[in-house]
Amino acid sequence: MKQLSKVLRLAQPTRLPRLGTRQARLLQTQAAIYTESGDPQAVVRVVERNLPDVPGSNQVLVRMLAAPVNPSDLNQIEGTYPVKGTFDKLTTSTDTIYAAVGGNEGVGEVIRVGDGVHGLQVGDWVVPQRAGQFGTWCTHTMTNASSLSAVPADWRSGLDPLDVACLKVNPCTAYRLLKDFAALNPGDYVIQNGANSGVGRAVIQLARYWGIRTVNVVRERPQLDQLHQELISLGADIVVSDKQLATDDIKQQLKSLDAPVRLGFNCVGGRATLQMTKFISAGGTLVSYGGMSRQPVTMPTSLLLFKNISACGFWMNRWYNQSFTSSRLEDEKHQMWREILGLIQQKKFVTQPLVTSNWHSQMDIGKAQEAVSGAVAWGAGSKHAFEFTQ
Task: Encode pLDDT of 275-329 as tens digits.
Answer: 999 999 999 999 999 988 889 999 999 999 999 999 999 999 999 999 999 999 9
Who's near 99: CB < 8 A, 6+ residues apart?
33, 34, 35, 87, 88, 90
Distance CA 55, CA 244 (A): 57
What single DSSP character describes residue 277? H
Query: Quick one: pLDDT at residue 378?
Result: 83
Say which of 34, 81, 189, 320 is annotated catalytic. 81
Question: How many Å separate Cα 317 from the centre of its chain?
Answer: 11
Query: Quick one: pLDDT at residue 154?
Result: 97
Query: Quick one: pLDDT at residue 8?
Result: 33
The fraction of the chain above a pLDDT of 70, given in percent, is 93
Gyration radius from the chain CA atoms? 22
Q: In what order do the strands lie in the sheet with 45-52?
A: 45-52, 26-34, 96-101, 88-91
In the chain, which residues have pLDDT < 70? 1-24, 361-362, 380-381
Query: Quick one: pLDDT at residue 21?
Result: 54
The secondary element (H helix, E strand) that includes residue 314 is none
Query: Quick one: pLDDT at residue 1?
Result: 45
Distance CA 132, CA 85 (A): 5
Looking at the DSSP bridge assignments, the partners of residue 64 are 108
pLDDT in tens, 89-123: 988 888 899 999 999 999 999 999 999 999 999 99
- The torsion angle over the Cα atoms of residues 328, 331, 333 and 339, rounded to 10 degrees, is -130
Query: Quick one: pLDDT at residue 27?
Result: 87
What single DSSP character describes residue 209? H
Distance CA 276, CA 264 (A): 8
67, 63, 47: which is closest to 55 by C-alpha?
A: 63
In the residue annotation, 81 being an active-site residue is answered as: yes
CB count within 10 Å of CB 325 equals: 8
Query: Quick one: pLDDT at residue 22?
Result: 56
What single DSSP character describes residue 162? H
